[in-house]
Structures are given as C-alpha cells and as structure tokens.
Amino acid sequence: MRQWKKDNVTTIDVGSHTEFFYIIEDVLIDKYSKMWYNYNCNVLNSLNINKERRYDMMLVIAGTIGVGKSSLAKLLGEHFGTDVFYESVEDNPILPLFYTATEEEIQTNRYPFLLQLWFLNTRFKSIKEALTQDNNVLDRSIYEDWYFAKVNKDLGRISELEFKMYEDLLNNMMEEINGMPKKSPDLLIYLRGNFDNIMERVQKRGREYELDESLIEYYRTLWEGYDEWVYKHYNASSVLTFNIDNLDYVNNIKDREIVIKTIESKLKQIRK
C-alpha cells in the first residue's frame, strides 16, 4: 500500500482500489472524521490483504451431506478473495421430490436419475467456468458426483442402463475438461466426521425435506462409503482431510486459523 500527499490530499493506493482523504493543514480533525478515516484505512488494508492472498488455485470441497462444505467454501472464498461455486440446491426443482417421494414414486418418475443429471449438468458448467479463471472454490464438484450416482445405483434407485448412460455422459464431459488449459483442481479438501455429529448438523440446518427419518439409512450408506471413494477412487489432485468432530471453523477463530493455515501450507507444498 502506497501513501503520499499532494495539495493537502492524502492518497492511499491499493492497486485497483484508491481512496482520497482531504486533510486541512493545522486544523484538528474531529473525532468523527478520524473514525471515518480509520474505517476506510481498515477496509483498504483488508482489500490489500485479500489481494496478496490470491493464489492461482482451484479448491474443491468434498464430504457427505451436512458435513459443513458450504460453510467452509464461504470462509475460504472470503479469505482468499475468490469466487465460490456453490452446489445447486435452492434452485433445484428435483431435490425436494427426490427426498420426499415414496419408493413407488421413485420407480415411476425416476427422480434419482433425473437428480443426478441435474447435478451433473450444473457441476459441469461450474467446473468449466472455474477452470478458465485463476482462483476458485467449489462446494462439491463433478468428480464427486459419480459417487452419489453409484450409491443410488447400488440401492436400486438408478437402473444399470441409467447408470451406464450417466457414466457415458460423464466421460464425455471429462474429456472436454481434460482438453482445457487447466485440467484439474489443485487440492481436494475432504471433510469427514462421526455420523451422529453430521446428522445433528443436518437437523440444525433445518431443510424440511432432509429431515424425514426414513432417510437416515440413505445418509448412513453415503457416509460409510465416502472414505473409499476419496482415498481409492479420486485421483484428480492431492487430498487434505479435516475431521469436523474436532473443529468449529464457523464459530471458533482459532479453529478457523488452523484450517486456513493448514490449507495455505498444503498449497505451498504442492507448488514446490
């Protein structure tokens, strides 16, 4: 940050953000002016810090339903001063139907297959955009989408034919991604934790369609297989794992600093 005076004007320059503060010589600035000046300096310093923190990076956050991905994505986006691509949930017309449908309705209307196609399309769009930019954080990604499709196939909610169609479409999308200048994430951040703790988070989040007790076994099946997917199937980047049972990066500043410093250290290690 540069600072200089000319014609009784103090200019604080932080690159693309420039503010001018007029100082009248030999006149005591009243306390409100001082407060305004200090406020602007703090804002500009914050902007400058975020500018310096920007990496040439793409982070993807993985983990089962309710583990805290969106909260961490928001935190990292603010810290690194970068865009965040959130999972398409609020604008998803199929998701409530998927959670509330009876088994008969699922078999008739094929909601699990339609839901996977919806997520695959939106995640493909997000990662294509992310890979053309310098810095991004993705709240779940196209790499993780396959695991959900596989679980629903194993549960009989997606047929073998539907799963083959899904995989063919996914493979075509991945071929296009592999042809881009930046081909993959720099780091996958995997959030894991005790099943009961994660279910408590789902309850606190309060999305009504997620709270039916009949969904517990579905959540458990997803949770039980996540480690295998992350450690045995995912190979697009390095993986950094956090146990959310021991961390509260939303409400605890020290925990937040631990998470951020660990991620920054991992990114520096990757670049060596």
* Alpha carbons 123 and 129: distance in angstroms, whole number: 10
Reference 117, options 76, 73, 155, 170; nearest CA is 170
DSSP character at residue 65? T
**CB-CB neighbours of 141 under 10 Å:** 22
Q: Where would I find the beta strands (DSSP E) of 128-243?
A: 135-139, 187-192, 238-243
Known catalytic residue at 139: yes
Q: Catalytic residue among 139, 145, 227, 255, which?
A: 139
Residue 10 bridge partners (DSSP) = 5, 21
Distances (CA, A) of 13 to 6, 53, 114, 251: 13, 17, 51, 33
**Percentages (nearest 5) of helix, strand, coil residues in the chain:** 60, 15, 25
Residues annotated as catalytic are: 139
